[in-house]
A and B are shown apart, each in its own frame.
Chain A
Amino acid sequence: MSSAKRPNGRASGPPVGGARNGPEGKSKQIKLVLLGESGVGKSSIALRFVRGEFNENGEATIGAAYLTKTINVQNSTAIKFDIWDTAGQERYHSLAPMYYRGAPAAVVVYDITSQTSFSRAQAWVKELTQQANSQIVIALVGNKADMASEGRVIPTEDGKEFASNNGLMFTEVSAKTGMNVDDVFTNLAAKIAAQSSPESNSTTVRPTNVERTEKGGCAC
C-alpha cells in the first residue's frame, strides 16, 4: 500500500458522468455497488473517482447516487463502471439485495476512525459472500486515511487481515485528498478483465434485447 502514488491521477479530465473514452477495443459494462454505513463517504469516493475532486463546487453534478466512468485496462479492454450508491442507514438494510443482485463488483467502505463502521463493513462482506453473485469481486476500502494521525481506530493490519482472510482486495484511501482512490477502481477493473478474459462469456454485460426476426409473416 504505497501511499499516494498518484495523488490526482488522471482525474481532472472529463467533466460530469458518462466519460466514454471510447477506444476501438471491446468495452464491458460493469455494475458496481457501493456499500457501507451512512457517513463513511461512499459517495465521496465515487465522486472523487469520477470527477477527481472533493466537494469543491466544480461543474454541477446534481447527484452522486448514480455515476459512470470508463477506464482502460492494459489489454485494450475498456471497463465502464456503472456505480450504484446504496443507502447506508441500518433501517434500509433489508433493501440491499435489490441493489447488489447480479452485480459483478462491490466496494465495501468503512471509516478508519469508526469501529462501528468497520463492523458493519464486515457484516456486508459476509452477506455478499453468502448471498450475492458467487463471481462477485469485492474491494474493502478504509476511507478517511487523511485523518489517520489524529483519529485512527482501525489499524491498517486489521483491515488487511480481514481482507486476506476473505479474499478481498484492500486499500486505504482518502476521498478528501484523493489518495489511492483511482487505484481501487483500476485494480478492480484489472481483476474483472483478467477474470473474464479466458473466454468465459458468462459475465455477460446485459441482456440487451436482440431483435428477434419475425417468423410467420401472415397474409394481410
Chain B
Amino acid sequence: HLQRLLSRIKRDKEVCGNHMTRICVKLFIEKKESSVVRFMSDFNKLTVSDEKTDHVEQFLQYLYQAMNQDPVWQAANECQIEDAQLAIERYIMSRIYTHAMFPNGDGDIMRDQLFQEHIKKLSNVITPSHKDLRIPRMYQFECPWTAAQKEIYMINAYKTPKDKVKCVFRCATTIMNLLSMANEKAVPAADDFIPVIIFVIIKANPPCLLSTIQYIQSFYGNRIGGEEQYWWIQFCSAVEFIKNMDYNE
C-alpha cells in the first residue's frame, strides 16, 4: 500500500515537473516572440524544401543556445533541458505546421483527399484474405487490430515529425505484439507484418497521409535511425503499396 502511495506521489512529482518545464518554456518563448515571428515569415518565404529543413534546424539550435544562456535555465538539470528542448521543438513546429505540412497549399490538401477517397473505396472491398493480403487464418483472430488502428489514426494529433514517427512505431509494435500472441509456435517477421499493416492503414484511413510522409521525410528523414527507421520504412512501403491497389475483390 505504501509503495503504491509512493509511486503515485512520484508520478505526481513528474507531472508537476513536466508542467513547470512547459510553463518555463512558454515564458522563454514569449521573450523570443519577435525572433519567432521573424523566423516564421522567413520560413514562409522559402520554397525549396532543403532550405526549409536547414532553416528550422538552425532556428532550433539558436533557441537551444539562447536557452543555455538564459538565467532561468541555469539551474536546470539535463533531464529538464531535454524536456524543454522537446517542448520548444513542439511549439515551433506547431507554429509553422500548416506551411511545413502543406508546402503547396491546396494542391497538397486535394491530393490527400483523393488518396483518402481511394482508401475509402478499398476499405469496402478489403478483407484479411484479399488477394493482395492473404493474411493466414491463425493471425485473423485479432482482426481488425483495433488497437493498432487507433494508434495510427492519431498521427495527425502529433505535430513534430519525431512524435509522428513514434506514433508509427507504436502502431507497428502493437501489431507485432498482437501477432506474436496469436501464434505461439513461431515469431512473426516481415512476411506476417506487411499485410497486416496494409490492412490496418486501409481500415483506419487517417487523413493527410501523403503529406505526413513528405513532412517527415523532409524534416526528420536524415535524423531517423535504427529500429525507428525500420518501422518507418515498413509504413512508407505499405502506403506505397496501397497507392497501387485496385478495387477488385
Contacts and interface: CB of A to CB of B under 8 A. Distances in A.
A206 B225 contact: yes
Interface in A68-119: 68, 82, 84-89, 91-92, 94-95, 98-99
A30 to B, nearest CB: 12
Contacts of A213: 61
A61 B187 contact: yes
A173 B195 CA distance: 28
Contacts of A189: none
A91 B132 contact: yes
Interface residues of B, number: 43
Contact of A65 (B58, B61, B132, B188): B188
A68 B226 CA distance: 9
Contacts of B131: 91
A98 B134 CA distance: 22
A73 to B, nearest CB: 21
Given A87-B194, A95-B237, A99-B237, A63 B187 contact: yes
A117 B59 CA distance: 52
A219 B206 CA distance: 43
Contacts of B226: 68, 82
B192 to A, nearest CB: 8
B190 A85 contact: yes
Interface in B133-174: 134, 173
B62 A217 contact: yes
Nearest to A34: B190
B47 interface: no
Contact of B193 (A55, A57, A65): A65
A60 B180 contact: yes
Nearest to A86: B190
Interface string A37-49: 0110011000100
A24 interface: no
Contact of B35 (A62, A91, A98, A220): A220
A62 B173 CA distance: 8
Contacts of B74: none
Nearest to A17: B227
B62 A87 contact: no
Contacts of B65: 214, 217
Contacts of B195: 87, 89
Max count, chain B CB within 10 A of own CB: residue among A39, A55, A57, A206: A206
Contacts of B240: 95, 98
B106 interface: no
Contacts of B31: 220
A62 B62 contact: no
A57 B184 contact: yes
A99 B66 CA distance: 40
B233 A212 contact: no
Given A62-B176, A95-B237, A98-B236, A84 B230 contact: yes
Contact of B194 (A92, A207, A220): A92
Max count, chain B CB within 10 A of own CB: residue among A38, A86, A94: A86
B189 interface: yes
A66 interface: yes
Nearest to A101: B233
A79 to B, nearest CB: 15
Interface in B189-248: 189-191, 193-195, 222-223, 225-227, 230-231, 233-234, 236-237, 240-241, 244
A108 to B, nearest CB: 15
Given A87-B190, A99-B237, A206-B225, A62 B180 contact: yes
Contacts of A43: 187, 189-191
30 contacts: A39-B191, A42-B189, A42-B190, A43-B190, A43-B191, A55-B187, A57-B184, A60-B180, A62-B180, A62-B188, A64-B188, A65-B188, A65-B193, A68-B227, A87-B191, A88-B191, A89-B191, A89-B194, A91-B131, A91-B132, A92-B241, A99-B237, A209-B57, A212-B58, A213-B61, A214-B58, A218-B35, A220-B31, A220-B34, A220-B35
- The 6 A-B pairs at the shortest CB distance, nearest first, are namely A43-B189, A85-B190, A95-B237, A63-B176, A87-B194, A64-B189
Interface of B: 31-32, 34-35, 57-58, 61-62, 65-66, 131-132, 134, 173, 176-177, 179-180, 184-191, 193-195, 222-223, 225-227, 230-231, 233-234, 236-237, 240-241, 244
